[in-house]
Structure 1
Amino acid sequence: MTITTENPIIDLFLDALWMEKGLSQNTLSSYRRDLKLFDQWLQCTASPGLLQVQPSDIQSYLAARLRDQKSPRSTARLLSCLRGFYQYQLRESKIALDPTLDIDSPKLPMPLPKSLSETEVEELLSAPDVEVPLELRDRAMLELLYASGLRVTELVSLRMGQLSLTQGVVKVMGKGSKERLVPTGEEALYWMQRYMQHGRPLLLGTHMSDVIFPSRRGTMMTRQTFWHRIKLYAQRAGIKKTLSPHTLRHAFATHLINHGADLRVVQLLLGHSDLSTTQIYTHVARERMKELHTQHHPRG
């Protein structure tokens, strides 16, 4: 049997997806790979073509992936891709029924975001040498990140019109173009004021820019550059934990909840549209309490 590796039906779907939703090239590549593998499996098993499959064919494919020990997360992504593909075909009147309609997604374990203790955060924030303009900028960025729970992308893209030093708030345009006002806190406000007076003018030099945290060239810093800066300071502070670009955002939320903050307030500060997304931090707080109990209780 000849296995066809290219299928114009897949290309048409991906083109439509790109035009409708503007998905990234990485996401489109993942969808292409998932659909091609499913199409090839159908051909190898003499199953019907992509537009003729039944729910039982998809169940068989999912079972085959389970035998191959594919992760539940990749299977959930595959199923999401298939759902989008068949909903598109249904809209285009290429099929009469969506074969994914009654297929449940695999249950995924709730990942607990990696966080830092309050002591580790203090050490990280104190790592930059604030006598150096570049590191003063980084100190202000780290302080603002921890004080406000911004996403790294939101932080590096901040412009002057979004910051009010007199009111101590930043106006953030988050995911889905949703705007929110976030307080900076006194400590972050102090470092922001110090940076704006003694760091930013020296960094900009003759460059003109309204970016709050410019790079050495006076342009907007990339999130990757800032991530490298975080790793530099973590190493300098002797922090051995594996960090992510969102580590301080996670620490912000976890420490707020540890100190009794209302979950809905944390949801608003983080810019989560769904409370269930924020609830993961209550799990982090519970895990931390269990850990402390085990360490310090005489019968732990």
Structure 2
Amino acid sequence: MIDQKGIVKAYVRYLKLQRNMSGNTLDAYQRDLRKLLDYLEHEQLAISDVTLADLEHFSASLHDIGIHPRSQCRILSGIRSFFKFVQLDGYRDDDPTELLESPQIGDHLPEVLTTQEVDRLEESIDLSKWEGHRNRAIIEVLFSCGLRVSELVNLKLSDLYLDEEYVRVLGKGSKERLVPISPKAIQELRFWFNVRNLMKIKPGEEDYVFLNRRGAHLTRTMILIMIKAQAKEARIQKTISPHTLRHSFATALLEGGADLRFIQALLGHEDIGTTEIYTHIDTSTLRQEILEHHPRNKKTNLK
């Protein structure tokens, strides 16, 4: 068993003695590394077992708690430095950060799917396989409710109020919120329950909504792999993840005229500033709106 505390101490010593970092810089590196270590502890992951998918989820969680993209980039830079050290010192054979992307700096909206693309994603699922209805329900619940993937994997049957068309969500900081669920998502859940009711479920896992073939609740990584594979099957060229469906949910609401405070409450954002990312409309769309609707741009017949 690798001594994780020992690795961290060795890394701090390396930064101090070999990279000659000042006290303030060293403190900043340690604070950023602590964010990752807290995340790994919560997910019950060891430094030696961390994968690229785990780090992508960690990166997405930084956005969820309202950390600015510039700060996210700084944190991820420190994480890359840490895992390079871990590899060079022989604690791991590989560096899981090699393909880890940083968020774009600026006010660009994250990648989103249109409703038509979500439909294509769902229609590409093979319903002859036992997990087909489960996967359709997962995609529809993510898109219809805007859940974080961590919220989805922990969703319980006792959290569902399908007759009232609501789900209870346990979000960041153990804060509960009620989120409306669409009739389509309810229908997909009921199809999945027809399959789920025939499964042998592990003791202690009976209340989880989404299960794997062994009757245990799903992990974030399982859902990430499923959605990426389904996007490939649907021939969607965008780089997507479970978080993309959350972004798509918020964007669809905003385009439909929903108030930003309402979207904030549904997403479970602490700070309205985190939700405001969805107000940045693509400039090409904005230009088209001006050309079509501003009186100075309307064509007139001059004689």
Instruction: Look up the match of 1:205.
Output: 200
Instruction: Look up the match of 1:163.
Output: 160
Provide the secondary structure at the position in 1 that maps to 2:235.
Answer: coil
User: Is residue 174 of structure 2 the alignment partner of residue 174 of structure 1?
Assistant: no
TM-score (norm 2): 0.62
Pairing partner for 2:279 from 276, 279, 282? 282
Q: Deviations over 1:162-215 (max 9, x none)?
A: 11222121111111111101111111111112211x22123x325442111011
Pairing partner for 1:231 from 222, 228, 232? 228
Count of aligned positions: 223
Stretches of structure 2 lacking an aligned partner (at least 5 in a row): 1-15, 42-46, 48-68, 80-104, 299-303
- Structure with the bigger RCO (C-alpha within 8 Å, sep 6+) is 2
Instruction: Look up the match of 2:38.
Output: 23
Judged with a 3 Å threshold, the aligned counterparts in structure 2 of structure 1 residues 292 and 134 are, in CA distance, closer, same or farther, namely farther
Judged with a 3 Å threshold, the aligned counterparts in structure 2 of structure 1 residues 288 and 136 are, in CA distance, closer, same or farther, namely farther
Q: 1:290 deviation in Å? A: 2.9
Judged with a 3 Å threshold, the aligned counterparts in structure 2 of structure 1 residues 295 and 218 are, in CA distance, closer, same or farther, namely farther
Judged with a 3 Å threshold, the aligned counterparts in structure 2 of structure 1 residues 173 and 205 are, in CA distance, closer, same or farther, namely same
Provide the secondary structure at the position in 2 that maps to 1:171.
Answer: strand
Instruction: Look up the match of 1:140.
Output: 137
Q: 1:76 deviation in Å? A: 4.7
Q: 1:288 deviation in Å? A: 6.4
Instruction: Look up the match of 2:84.
Output: none
For residues 78 and 218 of structure 1, the distance between their equivalents in structure 2, rounded to whole angstroms, comes to: 35
Judged with a 3 Å threshold, the aligned counterparts in structure 2 of structure 1 residues 149 and 6 are, in CA distance, closer, same or farther, namely same
Judged with a 3 Å threshold, the aligned counterparts in structure 2 of structure 1 residues 291 and 116 are, in CA distance, closer, same or farther, namely farther
Alpha-carbon contact 2:153-2:217 (below 8 Å) kept? yes
User: Is residue 147 of structure 2 the alignment partner of residue 150 of structure 1?
Assistant: yes
Instruction: Look up the match of 2:7.
Output: none
Provide the secondary structure at the position in 2 that maps to 1:147.
Answer: helix
Alpha-carbon contact 2:141-2:181 (below 8 Å) kept? yes
Identity %: 38
Stretches of structure 1 lacking an aligned partner (at least 5 in a row): 30-70, 82-107
- When Rg is computed on C-alpha atoms for both structures, the one with the higher figure is 1
Task: Output the aligned Cα RMSD.
Answer: 3.8
Alpha-carbon contact 1:147-1:184 (below 8 Å) kept? yes
TM-score (norm 1): 0.63
